[in-house]
Structure 1
Amino acid sequence: MSTLTALRAAADRIERRTPAHRDRSVDGLRALALLAVPTGHWLLGGFTLDADGGLHNASPLSSFGGLAPASWVLQMLGIFFLVGGYASVLSFRRRTGSTGAWLKGRVVRLGRPVLGVTAVWALAAPVLYAAGVPEATLRTGATLVVQPLWFVGVYVVVTALTPYCVRAAHRLGGWAAAPLIASVAVVDLLRYGPLADSVPSWLSVLNVLPGWLFAYQLGVSWGERRIGRRGAWLLLAGGAVLFAALLVAFHYPASMVGVPGAARTNSHPPSLLVLALASAQSGAAILLRDRLARLLERPALWAPVVVVNLCAMTILCWHQSALLAAAVPASFVGGVAGLTTAPDSLGWILARVAWMPVFAALLALITRYARRFEAAPAPGTRRAKAVRRAVAGVLAAGFAVFALGLA
C-alpha cells in the first residue's frame, strides 16, 4: 500500500468515526490557533551564539520592524480562548457530577502534559550539561520550554470562572465582555498616560486576568447563543477600528509579541491592542463558522484537524523542544544560518523558513512519544500513582526554579 493510499484510508476511517453532531468548525478554529503558536515561535524567535558556544535568545523583529504585521496573523490566542470558552460551556452543560468534579477533570487533563515536559527536561538538563552543553544554552532552552506554559496556568484560572461567565452571558449576552475590555483600557491609560511616571510597575499585572478572560467570555456567550451575526460584525468592525486607532493615534507597539530591548510590549501582560485584535478575530471566526464547517466536511481536511486536536497539549508543551533539538547540536558546529546566526539579515529569514519543515518533523517525532502524557495514566495502586505524581511534581518544580533563574 502506497503512502498516499494509507493516508486516504486513515482519513476515511477518521471520517467514519466522527459523530454527526461534532462541531467541526470549532475544532478547526482550535487547530488553526494552536498551530499558530509553534509557527510564530519558530519564525519570530532566533538565537545568537556567544564566544563559549552558548545560545541566547534573539528576535528578527529587533532588526526588521516591518515583520510586525506577521505577528498580527500569528497571534491567535484570542481565537484559542474564544474556542475554549465555547467548548467549556458545552462541557459544563453536559457535566454529570458537581462543578468541582468537572473542573478537576479539566485541570488534570491540562496538568499532565505540563508535568511531563518539565519532568523530562529536569532529568535531561544534567545529562546535557555533562555531555558538554553550555549552561547558557541550558538556561536559554529552559526559558523557551517554560515560556508557552504560562498559558496553561491562565487557562486553568479562566476555566474555573466558567460558571460566573455563564451567569454573565445570561444577563448581558455578548456585552458581558465589555467590562473586561474597559478594565484593560483603564490600566493602559494609567501606565501609558500622563500619570505613568507615578504609577507602580506592578500595576500592569492587573491586565493579565481580564486581558485573557475577554475572549473566553466571548466564547461562553457564543456557546450560550447570545452572540449572532450582528454581534459578530460589531466585534469585527469595532475591534479593527480600535486596533487601527491604538496603532496610529496612541502609538502602541506594532508587534504583538515581545521584542528584546523594547520599552513596551503588548503581550506580557496583554495590552488593549491584544483585546482589539481578539475582538476582530472573534467576530471573523463567528461569521466564518458555517463556511469552515462545510470546508471540513472533506475527509482530507478533517483528518489533520482531528489529529492536531488530539495532540493539542503535546504540541503546545513540546514545540520549543523541537526547535532546540535542531539548534543545540548546530551550536557545536558554529554559525548555522537560520539556527545559530544572529537574526539580522534577509538571508537568516530565508534560511529559517527553510528550517521550518525540519522543526515540524522533529515535533512530529517527539509527539509520537510525548503524546502518552496527555493520556490517562496506566492502572496501578493508589500508592504507586501518588509516588509517580510526587516525583514528577518535584522534578517539575526543580526545572521551574532553574528556568526562572532562581537557581
Structure 2
Amino acid sequence: MSRTDSTSPTRPTRRTALAGTIEKIEARTPAHRDRAIDGLRALAVLAVPTGHWLLGGFTLDRDGALHNASPLATFGGFAPVSWVLQMLGIFFLVGGYASVLSYRRRPATTSAWLRQRLVRLGRPVLGVTAVWAVLVPVLYGLGVPEATLRTGSTLIVQPLWFVGVYTVVTALTPYCVRAAHAMGAWAAAPLLVTVAVVDFLRYGPYADTMPSWLSMVNVLPGWLFAYQIGVSWGEGRIGRRGARVLLVGGSVLFAALLLVFHYPASMVGVPGEVRTNSHPPSLLVLALAAAQSGAAILLRDRIGRLLTKPAVWAPVVVVNLSAMTILCWHQTAMLAVAVPGSFLGPVAGLTTAPDSLGWIVARLTWMPLFATLLVVIGRYARGFDGPWKTGTRAAKARRAAAAGLLAAGFALFALGLT
C-alpha cells in the first residue's frame, strides 16, 4: 500500500465535522422555536463579557497587587461604547417574554414552576462561588497578594448581583402577568415613574436631606421595567405601534437626561465618579432599555429570518445553552491571565493603567485569549449547571450543604466582611 493510500482515511475533516454539528443542531431545533428571542438573548449574554473585558482594567501597586481601573476614567468620549454593550434591558425583555410563555405551559403548580426556574439559576452561582472559596486560600498560599484576591473576588461577584435580581424578578412573573392583563402596554409605566421620582429626590434640590439608602429603592423597579415590557409583549399586549413609542420615547428621554439633566454618560460605573447609572439603575438605564426594547420588537421578524440559516443559528444555540456558564465564569477567564501576568510586572493591556489608546489596542489583542480560556473553563464548569447525578440523596444533600457553606464564606470575603 502506498503512503498516500495509508494516509487517505475516511475520517472527516474539521470543516466536515463542523458542518455535521451545524446540521445536527438544525435538525434538533423544534419548528415552533422562536429563533429571534434566542438570538436576542445570545446577543445580550455576549455583551456582558465583552463589556467587562473591554471596559474594565487593572493597575499594579508597588507590592505587585492588582486593583480595578477603567479606561472610561480617562476616555470619557468612549462612553457611547457602554450604551451599546449595556444590553441588560434586552436580557430582561427576553427573560420576561420567555418566562410568560413558560408560565403558560407550566405542567404543575406555580410554586413548582418557580422552584424549577430558581434552582436552574442558583446552581451555577453556587458552583462558581464554591470553587473560588477553595481557590482563594490556595492562591494566597502560592504568593498571590491579598489585595489581588480581593480585587478578583469583587470581579467574580460583580456579575452575580444580576442573577440575584433576575431571581427576584422571575419570582414576580405571576404578578407581572396580571399587570399585563390589567394595564396592557402601560404596565411598565408605574415602574418608570417610581425610578423618576427617586432620581429627582436623590439628585434634585433636596438631595442633601435624603437618606443614603434611598437610591436602593430603584433596584427592583429599575430592572423589573424591561422584564414587565417583555411579559406584556409575550401576552400580545405590545405590537409594532407600542414598539415605536418605546423606541422614540426612550430615545428622546435618553437624550434629554444626558443633555438637559446632565446624567453621567457612561452606563457602567467608573472608578472615582460619585454618580453611577447602573448601581442602582437610574432613569437613564430605563430610557435605554425602552429604546432597546422597542428596536428589538420591531426587528424581531428580520432577526428570525436571519436565524433560519443553520450556520448563523448554531452559534446562537451554543451561547444560549452556555448562558449561565458565560455569565458566571467570564471574569475567571480574565483573571486566569491577569493574576499570573501581575508577577511579570506591567504588561500592556493587562496590568498597565488603562489610560492610553495603546492600552485599548493591547486589550483587544488579549480578548481572544480570554474567550479561549472561557471556552476551556466552560467545558468543566457546565457540570455545575445541572443536578448531581451520582450518590444517594443524603450524599447529594451533604455536597450541596458544603458548597453552600463555601459559597457563603467566599461572599463574606468578597464583600470585605472577613
Q: TM-score, normalised by structure 2?
A: 0.97
| Residue 4 (structure 1) shift | 2.0
Partner of 1:272: 283
CA RMSD in angstroms, aligned pairs only: 0.6
- 1:101-160 deviations in whole A, cap 9, x for unaligned? 100000100000000000000011111111111111100000000110001110111111
Q: Distance in 1 between matches of 2:179 and 2:413?
A: 40
Corresponding residue of 1:76: 87
Match of 2:96 among 85, 89, 98: 85
Matches within 5 A, 1:246-265: 246-265=257-276
User: Which residue of the partner structure matches residue 242 of structure 2?
Assistant: 231
Where does residue 378 of structure 1 map in the other structure? 389
Instruction: Kindly provide the amino acid, as one letter, of the partner of residue 161 in structure 2.
Output: W
Cα distance, 1:2 vs. partner?
2.2
Shift, 1:403, TM fit: 0.3
Q: How does 1:46-57 map to 2 (within 5 A)?
A: 46-57=57-68
Q: 2:34 aligns with which of 23, 36, 55?
A: 23
* Structure 1 residue aligned with 2:320: 309
TM-score (norm: length of structure 1): 0.99
Aligned position for 1:353: 364
* Equivalent-residue separation in structure 2 for 1:174 and 1:111 (angstroms): 31
Partner residue, 2:196: 185
Partner in structure 2 of residue 208 of structure 1? 219
**Matched residues in 2 for 1:406 and 1:167: separation?**
40
* Runs of at least 5 residues in structure 1 that lack an aligned partner in the other structure: none
Equivalent residue, structure 2, for 1:66: 77
- Cα deviation 1:64-83 (Å, max 9, x = unaligned): 00110000000000000000
Distance, in Å, in 2 between the alignment partners of 1:130 and 1:74 is 37
Structure 2 counterpart of 1:318: 329
Q: CA deviation at 1:379?
A: 3.9
Distance 1:323 1:244 in 2: 34
CA distance in 2, matches of 1:36, 1:256: 13
Name the aligned partner's letter for residue 212 of structure 1: W
1:375 deviates by 1.9
The aligned amino acid for 1:332 is: F
Query: 105, 114, 119: which one pairs with 1:103?
Result: 114
> What SS does structure 1 have at the residue aligned with 2:59?
strand
Q: Which residue of 1 aligns with 2:253?
A: 242
Instruction: Determine the C-alpha separation between the residues in 2 that align with 1:12 and 1:392.
Output: 39
**Counterparts of residues 115-126 of structure 1 (less than 5 Å):** 115-126=126-137
The aligned residue for residue 351 of structure 2 is 340
Provide the residue aligned with 1:288 in structure 2: 299
CA shift at 1:3, angstroms? 1.9
Q: Distance in 2 between matches of 1:61 and 1:337?
A: 17
CA shift, 1:377, in A, is: 1.7
> Partner amino acid for 1:134?
P
Between the aligned partners of 2:218 and 2:308, the Cα distance in structure 1 is 39
**Cα deviation 1:3-30 (Å, max 9, x = unaligned):** 2221111011100000000000000000
Match of 1:38 among 23, 28, 49: 49
In 1, distance between residues paired with 2:227 and 2:13? 43
Query: How far, CA to CA, are the matches of 1:324 and 1:81 in structure 2?
Result: 27
Give the letter for the 2:240 counterpart. Answer: R
Q: Percent identity?
A: 77
Measured in 1, the distance between the counterparts of 2:74 and 2:167 equals 36
Between the aligned partners of 1:100 and 1:279, the Cα distance in structure 2 is 30
Please say if 1:151 is aligned against 2:151.
no
1:300 to 296, 308, 311: 311
User: 167, 171, 180: which one pairs with 1:160?
Assistant: 171
- What CA distance in whole angstroms lies between the structure 2 residues aligned with 1:67 and 1:79? 21
Letter in 1 for 2:166: Y
Residue in structure 2 matched with residue 405 of structure 1 by the alignment: 416
| 1:139 matched residue in structure 2 | 150
Give the letter for the 2:89 counterpart: G
Residue 2 of structure 1 corresponds to which residue in structure 2?
A: 13
Q: Which amino acid aligns with 2:403?
A: A
Secondary structure of the corresponding residue to residue 257 of structure 2: helix
Q: 2: CA distance between counterparts of 1:380 and 1:166?
A: 40
Secondary structure (helix, strand or coil) at the match of 1:48 reads strand
Name the aligned partner's letter for residue 52 of structure 2: H
Tell me whether 1:11 sits opposite 2:45 in the alignment: no
Structure 1 distance, partners of 2:388, 2:181, is: 38
Out of 190, 198, 209, the position equivalent to 1:198 is 209
CA deviation vs aligned residue, 1:194-228 (integer Å, no higher than 9, x gap): 10111111100000000000000000000001000
Letter in 2 for 1:378: K
* Correspondent of 2:373 among 356, 362, 366: 362
Q: Any idea what SS the aligned residue of 2:158 has?
A: helix
Give the greater-gyration-radius structure (CA).
2
The 3-state SS of whatever aligns with 2:334 is helix
For 2:300 and 2:401, the matched residues in 1 are separated by 43
Structure 2 partner of 1:112: 123
Q: Which runs of 5+ in 2 are unaligned?
A: 1-11
